[in-house]
Structure 1
């Protein structure tokens, strides 16, 4: 449609300029305007989340793409389809960056592993990544700030036993002052805590960081419905309708879980380099591997993906069943050998996207997403900085998407290269992660309405009151053997409930 409009504009002359303007304004009000497409991910055009929208998924009737379909309708005889408005724009600019007064500018080859960038350098290098932190800060400021009773270990779980640790940053040192065992392996918050420890100790003087105290929840659903009013935690993700949770980089930034073959995140990035081949030399298909049953429920988004893509010439999409050996697993770094990579949500968010964006492949993501991660505000569905291809939640437009981009390889390659530039070379570097975590510490402190204490008063054997340091230093905690906590074998473990707290100082 837009291509036809452009052709007419070239021939009608100046007298038709008003018509062109009216058409442009109409497109801005359409479902495919940059603002509306960005809002499908839960963020407005300014990068801040719109908490007023209903982001619940509806796979029976698509909730994100209403009105006339941008892609060819099912009765169209030609396989040539029209792209979203953004797909025809040239890549005239890239993600913003800033040169500081001393001439410093982020250079990914030099700085990707520089975990100790200054605050000024962090903001200059990664200006788009802090929207989720700012959203949480502004929300809690509007609620009167965060009080100490809001960060206590949660024992009244509505769904299952949540593994949690209560953490204290004091004078630049990291402590654990409480732990509650629960489902999902304990390794998760050991990895997450290690990421926090790494970000703290990377700067020349960690004592400049404010003293804060918070709880880290290791579950995929950190604040499930029905929600406990006022409960505040750090987590890997949050549901779009959950305003209280603070989202930090997920544990995969340290390493994937011990049963996974991805291993350490840095090691994965290194291995994936050899698959960063020219886009047009990659396999011209869409790749996805995964389980349909996640968290002991069927993922309708994943089920629809399997059904829509079955038997299609452009599809390399398969379900994996580890118990029966169904499917053909693909190593994560080898995903980069395909031109198109499909991303789906799973039990909640899916941690695989942080790995996929390290490829120079075009990533297809269903919209709207029901959960967010720390870097989702950088995802751009259209315009010169487009870095992924949006699809419907029921994948009913996936065939048209593939037909279009297989025919328009230059446009697909542009998106893939923007993905690499934006994420692999900037926002998913270890340097960006460390900057994000430290900024999270600073912003949390602004709405924390209590003074964290390193010591507590206790009575000794003689009844005399003395001060005792709370909890364990991080260096000691990571080697501490937790209290015995038996979880029944599957399938009961996922719904296991317990109010057992290991300790809380």
Structure 2
């Protein structure tokens, strides 16, 4: 999709981008020194990358992969967005290159506002201007047993045929690790049959773990099989929870506590019980207060046709407002699975955010590269180090001692991949 089509198809993405643009213009823009500081202050416990986009290509200046494949996944998303741009370059924002620093951290990636992050606090002042990336799970999350998000969307759609609404599980479902996080601990307490009489009639909530063992841990449920249940629970943890996009892709009603973190697609979430476009339920809180009452009402109204409002069938809408469960579930499919969570939406968002970001780069603060004239436009603006053709040397390649063979400079993303995706620069 071109930029105009993206804006028409996914208008809810753009207010946050406009807010960031205004914030950074008010702060005077982003300098080369800002990015130096951003890279230096990224939390060392998490992976990070510093990248350059030039001539429709992605170049890597610095890569530090964390304990998982998150940075590789984030770079894949950016590469896909850049190389599928109908204009072939992000010229609408800046014809002379873009440089940015990104972090995979769940939260508090850096004290520097210029770092691109995967989530931010709901109450964060707009003046901070945090640029949000789609989280790594939009590419793939192999550490949790989830393949590509594209494949998950296919499997989620398949569940519509394998487990239509009438045959879905009728208890609210959650699997995960509490890990001391207050929302998850509260959820387990409120659904424990040993503590709450009758909880087994409405809740199927159990702890799982990828590593821990013990009587309190139960078998994992593949993420797409969550879609075989009518009601699902979204819980935050260390910050946002990466499960959200998967749950909201099911033809199910997802119930969340009051969320404290937001991601790039959250403007498309609608918890307004008086809106016929509602696509999930957000409890008033604190935490999961009201979960039992809401779940029992979901169970009691599960058979009400999509076309009918609860107020007209019950007289009192209660916790659900006007929308029967099937309408909320269908809205999630139409607005999220088929629209704002699609690969097309992810690419559109990223391109638009990058174009806006490019407009606040103070390119006159970038040092002039010795090889700059070898690039187009006389090498004006931001160019990769050591190029064109940087990051390689005879005798290099996968598994080789890249320092010994004298590899220097920024490496093009595709070459980095076929070289084994090493941390960069070689050390």
Partner of 1:259, secondary structure, is: helix
Q: How far has the Cα of 1:244 moved from its partner? A: 4.0
The SS at the match of 1:246 is coil
Q: Could you tell me which residue of structure 1 aligns to residue 176 of structure 2? A: 290
Match of 2:300 among 404, 407, 424: 407
Partner of 2:282: 390
Q: Which position in structure 2 is the counterpart of 1:479?
A: 418
Structure 2 contact 47–70 (Cα < 8 Å) conserved? no
Q: Secondary structure at the match of 2:89?
A: helix
- Aligned-pair Cα RMSD in Å: 2.3
Q: Deviations over 1:345-388 (max 9, x none)?
A: 11111111111111110010111x22111111111111111111
Question: Match for residue 468 of structure 1?
Answer: 386
Contact 1:271 1:333 in 2 (8 A): yes
Give CA-to-partner distance per residue, 1:148-171, whole Å, 9 cap, x none.
2222253346x6533211111112
C-alpha displacement of 1:301: 0.6
Name the CA distance, whole Å, in 2 between partners of 1:265 and 1:477. 23
Whether 1:318 and 2:203 are equivalent positions in the alignment is no
Q: 1:180 to 1:329 in 2, by over 3 A?
A: closer
Q: Are the equivalent residues in 1 in contact too, given 2:139–2:149 (CA < 8 A)?
A: yes
Distance between the aligned counterparts of 1:350 and 1:480, measured in 2? 32
CA distance in 2, matches of 1:235, 1:379: 20
SS of aligned partner of 1:380: coil
Q: 1:160 to 1:174 in 2, by over 3 A?
A: closer
1:268 equivalent to 2:126? Answer no
* Matched-pair contact (CA < 8 Å) for 1:360–1:420: yes
The answer to whether the aligner puts 1:423 opposite 2:336 as a matched pair is yes
User: What's the counterpart of residue 245 of structure 1?
Assistant: 130
Task: Please name the residue that 2:349 is paired with.
Answer: 436
The alpha-carbon distance between structure 1 residues 171 and 414, as it changes in their structure 2 partners (threshold 3 A), is same
Q: Is the 1:249–1:433 contact (alpha carbons within 8 Å) kept by the matching residues of 2?
A: yes
Aligned twin of 1:188: 70
Deviation readout 1:243-273 (Å, 9 max, x if unpaired):
34211111111111x3221111111111222
Query: In 2, Cα distance between the equivalents of 1:337 and 1:179?
Result: 39
Flag the 1:481–1:281 CA change in 2: closer, same or farther, 3 A: closer
Change (3 A) 1:274 1:208: closer
User: 2:252 aligns to what?
Assistant: 361
* 1:254 aligns to 2:139 (yes or no): yes
Report the 3-state secondary structure (helix = DSSP H, G, I; strand = E; otherwise coil) of the residue aligned with 1:263: strand
Aligned counterparts of 1:324 and 1:503: Cα–Cα separation in 2: 39
After superposition, where does 1:123-162 map in structure 2 within 5 Å? 123-152=7-36, 153-156=38-41, 160-162=44-46
Matches of 2:338 and 2:105, distance apart in 1: 29
What's the CA shift string for 1:285-333, capped at 9, x where partnerless?
100011111xxxx201100000001121100111113321511311100
1 CA distance for matches of 2:113 and 2:158?
Answer: 45
Matching residue of 2:393: none
Correspondence list, 1:165-176, <5 A = 165-176=49-60
1:274 match: secondary structure: helix
Task: Tell me: higher relative CO, structure 1 or 2? Use CA pairs within 8 A at least 6 residues apart.
Answer: 1
SS at match of 1:213: strand
Relative distance call for 1:427 and 1:482 in structure 2 (3 A) is: closer
In 2, Cα distance between the equivalents of 1:412 and 1:433? 27
CA contact (8 A) 1:165 1:180 kept: yes
Count of matched residue positions in the alignment of Structure 1 and Structure 2: 350
**Is 2:241 aligned against 1:350?**
yes
Contact 1:212–1:452 (Cα < 8 Å) also in 2: no
TM-score, normalization: structure 2?
0.76
1:281 lines up with 2:281 in the alignment: no
Moved over 4 A (4+): 451-455, 481-484
Matched residue, 2:320? none
Check whether the contact 1:132–1:247 (CA below 8 A) recurs between aligned residues.
no
Q: Give the distance between the partners of 2:171 and 2:15, measured in 1 at CA.
A: 33
Shift of the 318–329 alpha-carbon distance from structure 1 to 2, 3 Å rule, reads: same
Distance 2:75 2:206 in 1: 34
Contact 1:282 1:338 in 2 (8 A): yes
Gaps spanning 5+ residues in structure 1: where?
A: 1-116, 459-466, 485-501
Is residue 305 of structure 2 the alignment partner of residue 305 of structure 1? no
Note the residue ranges of structure 2 that are not aligned, 5 or more in a row. 194-198, 305-323, 372-384, 388-408
Change (3 A) 1:135 1:393: farther
Q: Secondary structure at the match of 1:447?
A: coil
Structure 1 residues 337 and 468, CA gap change in structure 2 (3 angstroms): closer
Q: 2: distance between equivalents of 1:125 and 1:161?
A: 38
